[in-house]
Chain A
Amino acid sequence: MAASPTPLVELRQVGKRFPGVLANDAIDLALYPGEVHALLGENGAGKSTLLSMLAGLLRPDSGEIWLNGSAVALDSPAAARAHGIGAVPQHSSLIPTLTAAENLLLGEGRGLRRPDRQAAAARFSALCDQFGVAIDPGRLAGSLSLGEQQLTEILRALHGSRVLVLDEPTSMLTPDGAKILLAILRRATADGAAVLFITHKLDEALAVAARVTVLRHGRVAGRFGQGDERELVLEAMFGRAAESMRPGPLPPAPSHKGRGSDVLTMHVPVALSIGAGEIVGIAGIDGNGQTELAEMLAGQRAATGSIMLDGRDIAGLDVAARHRRGLRYVTDDRLGEGTVGAFPIALNLLLKRIGDAPFWRHGIARKAAMTAHADTTIAANDIRAPGAWTRVGNLSGGNVQKLVLARELEGAPRFVIYNKPTHGLDAATQAAIRRRVAAQAEGGVACLLISPDLDELLLLCDRIFVMRDGRLLGPLANDGDTRRAAAALMAG
């Protein structure tokens, strides 16, 4: 490692708070010229927030960012670029209708001056040659493969930068693309650049980086070099074993089964059974098919195979019929899908019972009944709102989630799917929701808890599956040594 005394970039006690969440807490991190430094952590650990601050998209609430020995204010993406920081976000930010070379010009130039396309093409070709990439500068970005788009973005970020920040750069790359990426990074660091490589994959971090910093719940949980043990890094990522909030596992009495689902993201049939009073967890990094599974169970997404609820096949039933049979789905997207922000609380509480008595009679709304129902529900569920007819869009995230839970758990639920029920909420609300999930199970309801937060799953679940690439791995009994096994399955 060519660590010279002054780091290229240094984060000193950098913190960032979002409503209810401390995304980054007093982070110290130094990048030296010529090094690849990995930032490792599970989803929600605060990696992307850190990237956004380095890219000038977010401003830190506390702490300082130092560049070449002096504190700087990165208050816009242009400022970050001017300071020589090139950031590549996780999802493509190329303009698909411009050519690869023209995308190089984005954010450059002033006023109405016509951009010099030929010079851009020449510069793009030179960059390709320099880093050993073969992409035609004249091709439209939209026609490039995802991997080529990713490499184009990396070239664009490298152009005129000394510091390169990459967020999950291999997620879109084929194994060959990943090799090209490593070659690019080697050349860039040989020229004295520093690379911050953000990833959730342990093996990848250890393979590319000389030094690894692990983030967990927004804090630095450990710093490692190449000689350190894998086990220690895993423990830093996922934490030590925690006490379970639940009594011992219940005897399995299958009341629910999803089988033979072969929709796109499901590579193999999924087999799953959950007993009354049991909480089964699904761990995994976001986007591995968890939401698709939940939607198939809820009836929102086509599925083949059979789904048995209380001994009856409900696979042919639609969302409303499954709801009536006691299948409830607490969606992970409470504002986009679970509620309608423009509608008042009273109506959102009845979204899944439209037309039912006593709230509608002969198809006509009865406002008094709706108001009474909403008032009762608001009081019983500690929803903080001015009244029954307050727009849901004006409520805080925690109160929206309480509303969604109140709606889904009303009546006689038999099987409840919780998809990331505590995501993005403050600690007190999270605890209240977890207590509620546990209490439901005590009452004999079968629960499926999908969460990227392993701690939450270990706290609540009887058994835990890990979902990766659409496959359900496990199950692991929650009996003490589950954390390490689950973490290993998650990180791949």
Chain B
Amino acid sequence: MIRLAGVALPVAGALLASALVLLAVGIDPVDYYAIVLQRGLLTSRGVTESAIRSAPLMLLAASLMVSFSAGLWNLGGDGQFLLAAVAVSAICPPLDARAGPWLALPIGVAVALGAGAGWAALPAFLKAWRGVNEIVTTLMMSFLGASLANALIKLAFRDPGTTVPQTRILPVADRLPRLFGGTVHAGVPLAVGVLIAVHLTLAHTAWGFRLRTLGASPRAARHAGIDVPRTTFAALLVSGALAGLAGGVDILGVWGGVRADWNPGFGLSVVALVCLARLNGWVVAGLVAVFSVLSVGGESATIRLGVPSSFSLVFVALLLLFLAVPEILARARR
């Protein structure tokens, strides 16, 4: 009961407070939420869009679950995501042209995992063997990664056939297979599967138990004979790989390539959701679904009501704020 309230209360609070913000800027919150619900969930187009949107979010959430379980804050998800997206965009279209999608797609997935892990490797090494705070390094590497991604698009992998700086684009027919003849791509069930697999791994395997022990008490982990540096390194690397996979899936499933200055900035919104879910994979999946609907529906509402498109970030910020409330209540209970 308390756990359920711990999730429902902040969500309700954030929705309510968002409504007050809307009122304050002269927009009827009932209208707004009606449009959000309509366009995000109740039309076939809306529900499809929301499902597609949820794929990278689920993978980023899985990435954070791995690092948070080990007590590590990988806040570099955005950089890992973008670099993986660019790496996939650089390799897959030419490979596809020569060898076809059955080779290009699996290699694309592998490249995405590798690029994400690669960009997490330096902070992981510094944390594991030098004790450098990973919050700072992953965040810094995230900014560097976003800039590097842009530079790579403009300088190295630019498609010479376009005026806008962008990579070559994977043809629509060669992207991840569509399901049921619609627009939902195979990356969506893949993402859900990965999230569940991560949850089960953390909850029921020896490796997951080592991570959780490290997260709960590094001293106890050392005492128990867990190789703390290696486990730390592995956790951050896996976390980076999953963030990279999120970028790869978004490219292979939706966009086909990357334009310069593209940065959806999913990473930090997901941090709030994973914290709120207390690392429980099922709750994470539910929250990501809710957030996907809110952000897809919110984009439609932007056009209809003139609310800035970044309003879904206001919701996330309020969610973080209300997240603190059950924490305080739980503390008072003790």
Contacts and interface: CB of A to CB of B under 8 A. Distances in A.
Contact of A351 (B205, B207, B224): B224
A78 interface: no
Contacts of A329: 223
Contacts of A299: 225
Given A336-B217, A337-B219, A319 B206 contact: no
Nearest to B227: A318
B220 A340 contact: yes
A323 B222 CA distance: 13
Interface in A287-327: 298-300, 318-321, 323
B219 A336 contact: yes
B206 A343 contact: no
Contacts of B226: 320, 354
Interface string B190-213: 000000000000001111011011
A360 B212 CA distance: 16
Contacts of B151: none
A364 B204 contact: yes
B223 A331 contact: yes
A51 to B, nearest CB: 27
Contact of B223 (A337, A347, A364): A337
Interface residues of B, number: 18
B224 A354 contact: yes
B206 A360 contact: yes
Given A352-B225, A364-B204, A340 B216 contact: yes
A300 B228 CA distance: 11
B257 to A, nearest CB: 39
Nearest to A348: B220
A347 B209 CA distance: 9
A355 interface: yes
A351 B216 CA distance: 12
Question: Is chain B's binding surface mostly helix, strand, loop or mixed?
Answer: helix
A300 B204 contact: no
B210 A365 contact: no
Contacts of B210: 354
Query: Taking each of A354, A363, A364, which has the highest tally of chain B beta carbons within 10 Å of its own beta carbon?
Result: A354
Nearest to A361: B206
Given A323-B225, A352-B225, A354-B226, A337 B206 contact: no
Contacts of A321: 225
A298 B222 CA distance: 11
B205 A343 contact: no
A352 B224 contact: yes
Interface size on A, as a range, is 20 to 34
Contact of B206 (A300, A318, A333, A355): A355
Interface string A336-350: 111111110001000
Contact of A300 (B207, B209, B222): B222
Nearest to B220: A340
A338 B223 contact: yes
A355 B212 CA distance: 14
A343 B204 CA distance: 13
Contacts of A365: 204-206, 209
A318 B225 contact: yes
Contacts of B220: 336-340, 351
Query: Taking each of B213, B222, B223, which has the highest tally of chain A beta carbons within 10 Å of its own beta carbon?
Result: B223
A363 B200 CA distance: 12
A364 B222 contact: no
Nearest to B204: A365
A401 B51 CA distance: 51
Given A336-B217, A340-B216, A343-B213, A363 B206 contact: yes
A217 to B, nearest CB: 30
A340 B213 CA distance: 7
B328 to A, nearest CB: 19
A364 B212 CA distance: 15
Interface string B123-138: 0000000000000000
B216 A343 contact: yes
Given A340-B216, A343-B216, A354-B209, A319 B204 contact: no
Contacts of A319: 222-225
Nearest to A299: B225
Nearest to B218: A337
Contacts of A347: 209
B207 to A, nearest CB: 6
Nearest to B212: A343
Contacts of A343: 212-213, 216
Contact of A354 (B204, B206, B216, B217): B206
A140 B334 CA distance: 37
A318 B223 CA distance: 11
A331 B220 CA distance: 10
Given A354-B210, A365-B204, A365-B205, A300 B223 contact: yes
A292 to B, nearest CB: 14
B331 to A, nearest CB: 15
A318 B231 CA distance: 15
Contacts of A318: 225, 227
7 contacts: A300-B222, A323-B225, A337-B217, A352-B224, A354-B209, A354-B224, A364-B205
Interface of B: 204-207, 209-210, 212-213, 216-217, 219-220, 222-227
Closest 6 CB pairs of A and B: A320-B225, A319-B225, A355-B206, A351-B224, A337-B219, A340-B216
Given A320-B226, A343-B213, 5 more contacts: A321-B225, A331-B223, A337-B219, A340-B216, A354-B213
